[in-house]
A and B are shown apart, each in its own frame.
Chain A
């Protein structure tokens, strides 16, 4: 019995049943409630799975502390932060229960004045690295990259207000690239992406694509 249950066909069958159910509802509108409930499951399951990740993270950092690996002190900071934030949050109120206002205020302080600037700072690298990309990557190694760079410059002048002030034509020219070339090419990419996505689904249904079960795909073992 246990051997039968261990077979990989079972999770694949579960996957197939769930996705077919959603699709059947999509095409016919037969069971909207069931479909909605199932989508809600994914969120609940995801939240339950947090424990897996947190265990892995704690094991990683606790081993570092235990072994006194390089930079182990930062692992201590990390673990302390988790507990400080979590405890102040829980004491401040959770799940519709109200808690201690002071704890809530401290929690808000951590969120708003410590974490918010920190995470915006991390996110702002998307701006800085755009220049790294222009500077390091934007070399016309071939004619097609050349086309890309010319269009990029036109669009940058279209987007920045100063471009329109330099030459009014950048407005309509950039808009034409955006509305016509981009839309047309994007359509082609979209169709391809949609088709490819469904093909992965079919392969997974047939049991070829098994990476989501933690196994190498069929043919790669």
Chain B
């Protein structure tokens, strides 16, 4: 299809496919269309879990992302973070932030904090929430955090020692934590392996925020209960924002995603129609010969 028409070294049709995609996606970004977002049960469940936090409960938010995965990770993470900070303000929930996978985690956390500034500004740092940045070691760090919180989180991003942070007093192991928001790209299996609510008595639930494509992967864990709930990708973000009642990055993404998917379907259909048409034409010309 794309072979015959060429501009320079690049088949023209491919460029056209990309161009149409860019235009289609730019429309909802410039003026949101507001296509409907049905909320799935999984996101509803995760929202309810977060909403069940009470005064004094500890929420750990671990972000295994970097700037490369910002656009798939940030919309749901920001929705979750907004919810967490709102709860911290209204009910006195305490929030701990960090990442373990790579040095990029710290940058990523800074970036999403930048976007949620109005939500954490009224809070007291060190008493309501704390940011440990990057705790090196990935799964080892996760295992370390589960058994010895103080030993793993030695200093926060500002270089403050953990002993000097008031809210960290009394948090010794994972059993002292109530809930976990674990955001990952393609490594969701670390969560049930290291931080399972089945293993740690005090830990009531874990929410895994992961790529949509990773959802089938975590389903067995969700069935067994070693992951309690999940929020999937930008779609989960859109739904979560609906539940929060304040639309943001996720909702814009969802409009663009809907158009993108419809475009994909249209391309498949077009490619097949063209293929069948040319095939019937060639077979006809063969018959004539």
Contacts and interface: CB of A to CB of B under 8 A. Distances in A.
B258 A135 contact: no
B261 A182 contact: no
Interface string B236-280: 001000000000000000100111111111011011100110000
B21 interface: yes
Contacts of A134: 264, 267-268, 271
A214 interface: no
Interface stretch (A13-21, A76-84, A157-165): A157-165
Interface residues of A, number: 36
Interface stretch (B30-38, B160-168, B170-178): B30-38
A160 B261 contact: yes
Contacts of B254: 161
B271 A162 contact: no
Interface residues of B, number: 40
Contacts of A162: 35-36, 258-259, 261-262
B257 A161 contact: yes
B6 interface: no
Contacts of A186: 216
B18 A131 contact: yes
B68 A159 contact: no
Interface in A85-133: 111-112, 116, 119-120, 123, 128, 130-132
A89 B136 CA distance: 18
B70 interface: yes
Contacts of A216: none
Given A131-B267, A162-B258, A138 B17 contact: no
Contacts of B257: 160-161
B262 A135 contact: no
B212 interface: yes
Interface string B79-94: 0000000000000000
Interface stretch (A48-56, A148-156, A203-211): A148-156
B271 A136 contact: yes
B68 A149 contact: no
A123 B104 CA distance: 16
A153 B269 CA distance: 9
Nearest to B22: A128
B216 A130 contact: no
B265 A131 contact: no
A165 B18 contact: no
Interface string A168-195: 1001000000110011001000000000
Nearest to A115: B67
B264 A161 contact: no
Nearest to B40: A171
B238 A161 contact: yes
A59 interface: no
A152 B268 contact: yes
B259 to A, nearest CB: 8
A140 B261 contact: no
Given A159-B212, A159-B235, A165 B265 contact: no
A163 B265 CA distance: 11
B264 A131 contact: yes
A123 B73 CA distance: 14
B38 A160 contact: no
Given A160-B258, A161-B37, A138 B21 contact: no
21 contacts: A112-B107, A116-B67, A116-B107, A119-B67, A120-B71, A130-B264, A131-B264, A135-B13, A135-B17, A139-B271, A140-B272, A149-B268, A152-B268, A153-B265, A157-B265, A160-B257, A161-B35, A161-B235, A161-B238, A165-B35, A171-B40
Interface of B: 1-2, 13-14, 17-18, 21, 35-38, 40, 67-68, 70-71, 107, 212, 215-216, 219, 235, 238, 254, 257-265, 267-268, 270-272, 275-276
Given A132-B17, A162-B261, 7 more contacts: A132-B14, A134-B268, A134-B271, A139-B271, A157-B265, A162-B35, A179-B219
